[in-house]
Amino acid sequence: MEKEKTFFSESELIALLREKDQKAFSYLYDNYAPIVYGVALRILSSEELAQDVVQEAFLKVWNRIEQYEDSKGRLFTWVINIVRNAAIDKLRSKEYKTAQQKVSLKLKEVNKKYDDSTQQNSEYIGFKEVTMKLKEEHKKIIEMTYFQGYSQTEVAEILGIPLGTVKTRARNALQQLRSWLSENF
Amino acid sequence: MNIQEFIESGILSVYVLGVASEEEQQQVEKMANLYPEIQEELSVLQAAMSEYVAQYEVPPPASLKNKVMKAVEVQESGRIPADYKKSTWYYGLAASIALLFGSMIANFYLYQEWKNSEEKIATLETQQSLMAQTQQKLESKYTKLTEELSIVQNPDFQLTYLVGLQETAPQSYAAVFWNEKSQTAYIYTSSLPKPPFGKQYQLWALVEKDETVWDAGVFDWGKFSPVKCFKKPEKFIITLEKEGGVPKAEGKAYAIGTVKS
């Protein structure tokens, strides 16, 4: 399918989507799908599951566009959050759920498992070279929370750090991302 | 709350990373609405996260777009014109009814399937128990036959053939096996006429010279049956008597045989 050549501004796009304009939706798909799919794939490590989640997420965007409030952030953030949540839900509904329950019992094992799975993830074919270089501890906290869906409490337990430190580390991680952005743009 | 403290606590970061608790989420949204500085900080962090996430982009297969667009089209084709579209409860209701019907049909179908399976199992169970019964019967018959054969082959048993009498049982035979040592005896016949209901054959032993006759007992037709014989007779006679036998022969004689001396 050829990409729509027309350009929509974000506010135009949102207005058209609210009118159930399928052309606008097609444009949204073309522009957002690679990142949406990339996020789902990184979380689930399964093309099949990731594609299911992407389809589910786009349908949700189509059906719930009325609920989007620009005061809560950009459309892109909203869309990505939808797919991220759907993917995490799927992750929790499946095999990872068992591992989650064992967190407090077998911390070391889970920690190792986490290390292995992130290694697998980054070796996943199709991922572009990640140019944004982060400190290991910052990368880890983003991986565990955003991509693995561990709660703050679980992260604290697994890493053996106080709950307050999880927030501090998250903040430091995002500050690093931010500085990287200001340097490069 | 001090705005700077709020920002530095990292609560905005955990919010952006999607791991804020429900309480924290509400707090962040409330504070962002109240304070532009917080809103600004939040936007910057979200943008940074978006940039980071964007690096992981992977082009999905082309077929996925077709699926997504088709799903939207299918959904929209079932949509009621905008005039009627006051609220979404109507779709909810329609979908619920459709689901209910679907579920009812599925339930009915599954119930039928289940019933069929139950019936099949019941039939199989009956067949199985019948077969087990048959097998048991055959086994006990086989055991009996083996025992009977061991009698037949035992040289201690003397065999006497009884021949059917002309007027009552022509061309019929019975066989008596008598063991003098163990004083046991058996009789077998299936060639004499089958006794009518309420009647039974009875075997008599006879010593002519002493003019003594003794009752050797009633027996079942068609079965290898034990009878009583405590001394060597000259002859065996079979009569047809009422069921259970009689002390002195009353019925007609059916067969007679001479014991070899």
Interface ipTM: 0.79
Interfacial A residues in 56-115 facing B (CB < 8 Å): 58-59, 62-63, 71-74, 76-77, 80-81, 84-85, 88
Q: What is the pLDDT of residue A102?
A: 44
Where does the pLDDT of residue B107 fall: very low under 50, low under 70, confident under 90, or very high at 90 and above? confident
Q: What is the pLDDT of residue A185?
A: 53
Mean local confidence (pLDDT), A85-104: 66
Residues A23-39 have pLDDT tens digits of: 999 999 999 999 999 99
Chain-centroid distance of CA B236 in Å reads: 53
- The answer to whether B168 and B254 are in contact (CB under 8 A) is yes
Question: Which of the residues A148, A177, A180, A182 would you substitute to probe the B interface, choosing the one with the greatest number of B C-beta atoms within 10 Å?
Answer: A177
Q: Which residues of B touch A174 (CB under 8 A)?
A: 12-13, 16-17, 45, 48-49
Where does the pLDDT of residue A121 fall: very low under 50, low under 70, confident under 90, or very high at 90 and above? very low
Percent of chain B predicted with pLDDT > 90: 40
Residues in contact with B248: Cβ distance below 8 Å, sequence separation at least 6, in sequence order: none
Q: What is the pLDDT of residue B102?
A: 87
Look at A85 and B13 and tell me if their CB atoms are within 8 Å.
Answer: no
The reply to whether A163 touches chain B by the CB within 8 Å rule is: no
Q: What is the pLDDT of residue B144?
A: 86
Residue B3 to chain A, least CA–CA distance (Å):
15
Where does the pLDDT of residue B56 fall: very low under 50, low under 70, confident under 90, or very high at 90 and above? confident
Where does the pLDDT of residue A2 fall: very low under 50, low under 70, confident under 90, or very high at 90 and above? very low
Interfacial A residues in 16-35 facing B (CB < 8 Å): 20, 22, 25-26, 29-30, 33-35
Closest among B41, B212, B52, B72 to A60, alpha carbons compared: B72
Residue A108 to chain B, least CA–CA distance (Å):
22
Q: Could you give the count of Cα atoms lying within 13 Å of B154 in the half-sphere of its Cβ?
A: 18
Look at A166 and B14 and tell me if their CB atoms are within 8 Å.
Answer: yes
Residue B94 to chain A, least CA–CA distance (Å):
17
Closest among B64, B20, B15 to B39, alpha carbons compared: B15
Mean local confidence (pLDDT), B220-230: 90
| Edge-to-edge strands, sheet with B184-188 | B212-219, B199-207, B235-242, B253-258, B157-164, B173-179, B184-188, B225-227
The reply to whether A136 touches chain B by the CB within 8 Å rule is: no
Number of neighbours of residue B81 by Cβ within 10 angstroms: 6
| Cα–Cα separations (whole angstroms), residue A172 to A5, A135, B12, B206 | 40, 10, 11, 122
Q: What token pair was written down for B238?
A: 């079979």
Of B46, B60, B76, the CB nearest to A74: B46
Q: Which residues of A touch B42 (CB under 8 A)?
A: 73
Nearest chain B Cα to A84, which residue? B18
Most confident of B70-79, B170-179, B207-216: B170-179
Mean local confidence (pLDDT), A61-87: 90
Higher per-residue confidence, A66 vs B1: A66
pLDDT reading at A104 higher than 50: no
How long a stretch of residues is chain A? 185
Look at A132 and B68 and tell me if their CB atoms are within 8 Å.
Answer: no
Of B13, B44, B58, the CB nearest to A170: B13
Higher per-residue confidence, B209 vs A159: A159
Buried-exposed string B144-156: b where 16+ CB fall within 10 A, e elsewhere? eeeeeeeeeeeee
- pTM for the full predicted model: 0.53
Nearest chain B Cα to A79, which residue? B50
Closest among B255, B186, B249 to B214, alpha carbons compared: B249
Q: What is the pLDDT of residue B91?
A: 76
Q: What is the pLDDT of residue A110?
A: 44
Q: What is the pLDDT of residue A51?
A: 92
Q: What is the pLDDT of residue B79?
A: 63
Q: What is the pLDDT of residue B86?
A: 54
Q: Where are the alpha helices (DSSP H) in chain A?
A: 10-18, 22-44, 47-64, 75-93, 95-101, 107-122, 136-142, 152-159, 163-184
Percent of chain A predicted with pLDDT > 70: 73
The reply to whether A140 touches chain B by the CB within 8 Å rule is: no
Mean local confidence (pLDDT), B200-226: 88
Classified as helix, coil or strand, B18 is coil
The reply to whether A138 touches chain B by the CB within 8 Å rule is: no
Look at B18 and A58 and tell me if their CB atoms are within 8 Å.
Answer: no
Q: What is the pLDDT of residue B219?
A: 94
Residues B198-211 have pLDDT tens digits of: 999 999 998 877 77
Q: Could you give the count of Cα atoms lying within 13 Å of A155 in the half-sphere of its Cβ?
A: 27
Look at A51 and B64 and tell me if their CB atoms are within 8 Å.
Answer: yes
What are the φ/ψ torsions at residue B224 (nearest 5 degrees)? -75, 100
Mean local confidence (pLDDT), B241-256: 89
pLDDT reading at A120 higher than 60: no
Is the CA virtual torsion A35, A36, A40, A46 positive or negative?
negative
Look at B57 and A169 and tell me if their CB atoms are within 8 Å.
Answer: no
Look at A73 and B46 and tell me if their CB atoms are within 8 Å.
Answer: yes
**Residue type (1 letter), A46:** S
**Least confident segment among A4-18, A50-64, B29-43:** A4-18
Percent of chain A predicted with pLDDT > 90: 45
Q: What is the pLDDT of residue B60?
A: 92
Q: What is the pLDDT of residue A6?
A: 65
Q: Which residues of A touch B16 (CB under 8 A)?
A: 174
Question: Which of the residues A52, A133, A178, A183 would you substitute to probe the B interface, choosing the one with the greatest number of B C-beta atoms within 10 Å?
Answer: A178
Q: What is the pLDDT of residue B256?
A: 92
Look at B72 and A59 and tell me if their CB atoms are within 8 Å.
Answer: yes
Nearest chain A Cα to B56, which residue? A38
Where does the pLDDT of residue B77 fall: very low under 50, low under 70, confident under 90, or very high at 90 and above? confident
Mean local confidence (pLDDT), B251-261: 89
Q: What is the pLDDT of residue A111?
A: 46
Residues B154-175 have pLDDT tens digits of: 889 999 999 998 888 888 999 9
Tokens 């989640």 belong to: A53
pLDDT reading at A123 higher than 70: no
pLDDT reading at B84 higher than 60: no
Look at B18 and A146 and tell me if their CB atoms are within 8 Å.
Answer: yes
How long a stretch of residues is chain B? 261
Q: Identify the DSSP state of B85.
A: -
Where does the pLDDT of residue A152 fall: very low under 50, low under 70, confident under 90, or very high at 90 and above? very high
pLDDT reading at A118 higher than 60: no
Mean local confidence (pLDDT), B172-183: 92
Q: What is the pLDDT of residue A126?
A: 38
